[in-house]
Amino acid sequence: MTDDLKGRDYIETSDWTDAEIETALAVSRDLKEKFRKKEPHRHLPDRTIFLLFFDKSTRTRNSFEAGITQLGGHAHFITTETSQISHGESPRDTGVILSRYGHGIAIRHDLVPGEGNAYMREVAEHADKPVINMQCDIDHPCQTLADLLTIRERFGENLKGLKVAVSWAYAPSYAKPLSVPQGLAMLLTRFGMEVVLARPPEFPLMPHTLERARANAKRSGGSFRVADSMEEAFEGAHVVYPKSWGCIDLFREPERSLALAKKYAHWICDEKKMAIARPDSIYMHCLPADRGHEVTDAVIDGPHSVVYDEAENRLHTAKALMALVME
Ligand code: CP
């Protein structure tokens, strides 16, 4: 295990070089193998990480909690409602105090555009322990690292020319954050993939994330473009990743965002749309999925789906990140 990344924050994948991302993937694979073989891998004995949630979670919370236990340490689960953050305690004070009690801080603050990334960067500025982004308004770098690992497991190390369709899909449950499609666009374009983003006109992503995706694609020899329909994006795709997100201007009025989304209830990933992709294509979703709306049961439970492998990889990548940055 290299010490080169000790003390580093992991807030956006763009903060890490290609070589550093490759290190995180290599350590994830190694820890996955050790987990399978039940070989001890207590790289962080007696260390504490604080998991601070401004939003709900199943995979992220449990991959970090299980992960730190398997690494020999312990996690504190903190919510805004049950901490002094609800009374307005500052990110600076929170970062300084938690740094003095433990060895790492991980934060999920993803629901309001313009808030979460700035919050965690302020914590990181004042904390002298590493800060890991468990999902903000801009990026979900733990999810996209696990997604990249999953794509490599299916298609091999060289991903140049691999066609990826990231698409909006309809979901009535809640206005989901923008950070997964943005994070995918910014990360996958670094590896020479041909990424197409499809969305209805009322559901754009943050312009700077798309500009970064275009610049990455130019550098890596891949491509990035925006399409107007799921069908157009799926044409010849190796990877399809249809998921919902909310209207960027309506996160403070989620009911209006959901009402607007209803117009596009036909943006569902079904077997007919999967037939447009390559026969060996994989279906991905970060989960939770709105079954019957974002995707049919036949697709998410069908032969193309890798969603459970993808979710499992959240554990191995979370462990790799903690093991690499915490000391
Ligand atoms: N994909 C993901 O981040 O899942 P949770 O919201 O359950 O953590």
Ligand 1 neighbour 173 (Cβ under 6 A): no
Residue 148: count other Cβ atoms within 10 Å of its Cβ: 25
Ligand 1 neighbour 286 (Cβ under 6 A): yes
Residue 183 CA, ligand 1 centroid: distance in Å: 14
Residue 135 CA, ligand 1 centroid: distance in Å: 9
Ligand 1 neighbour 109 (Cβ under 6 A): no
For 214-248, b where at least 16 C-beta lie within 10 A, e where not — what string? bebbeebebbbebbebbeebbeebbbbbbbbbbbb
Domain with CATH 3.40.50.1370 in the chain: 13-140+314-325, 142-310
Residue 119 CA, ligand 1 centroid: distance in Å: 19
Ligand 1 neighbour 287 (Cβ under 6 A): yes
Tell how strand 239-243 and strand 163-168 pair up: parallel
**What is the rounded CA–CA span in Å between residue 135 and residue 176?**
12
Q: List the pLDDT tens digit at each of the 327 positions of the chain.
A: 899 999 999 999 999 999 999 999 999 999 999 999 999 999 999 999 999 999 999 999 999 999 999 999 999 999 999 999 999 999 999 999 999 999 999 999 999 999 999 999 999 999 999 999 999 999 999 999 999 999 999 999 999 999 999 999 999 999 999 999 999 999 999 999 999 999 999 999 999 999 999 999 999 999 999 999 999 999 999 999 999 999 999 999 999 999 999 999 999 999 999 999 999 999 999 999 999 999 999 999 999 999 999 999 999 999 999 999 999
| Structure confidence at residue 74 (pLDDT) | 98
Instruction: For residue 170, give the nearest of 204, 147, 203 by alpha carbon.
Output: 203
Residue 194: count other Cβ atoms within 10 Å of its Cβ: 22
Rounded (5°) CA angle 110-114-115: 55
Nearest ligand 1 atom, CA 286: 1
| Structure confidence at residue 1 (pLDDT) | 82
Residue 134 CA, ligand 1 centroid: distance in Å: 9
Residue 140 CA, ligand 1 centroid: distance in Å: 9
In the CATH hierarchy, which top-level class contains the domain 142-310?
alpha beta
| Structure confidence at residue 263 (pLDDT) | 97
- What is the token pair recorded at 39? 């070989």
| Structure confidence at residue 220 (pLDDT) | 98
For ligand 1, atom 4: residue with the closest CA: 59
**What is the rounded CA–CA span in Å between residue 325 and residue 20?**
11
pLDDT (tens digit, 9 = 90+) per residue, 29-86?
Answer: 999 999 999 999 999 999 999 999 999 999 999 999 999 999 999 999 999 999 999 9
**What is the rounded CA–CA span in Å between residue 243 and residue 164?**
13
Instruction: State the burial class of residue 66 (Cβ atoms within 10 Å of its Cβ: 0-12, 13-18, 19+).
Output: middle
CB 293 within 8 A of CB 266: no
Q: What CATH number has the domain spanning 13-140+314-325? A: 3.40.50.1370
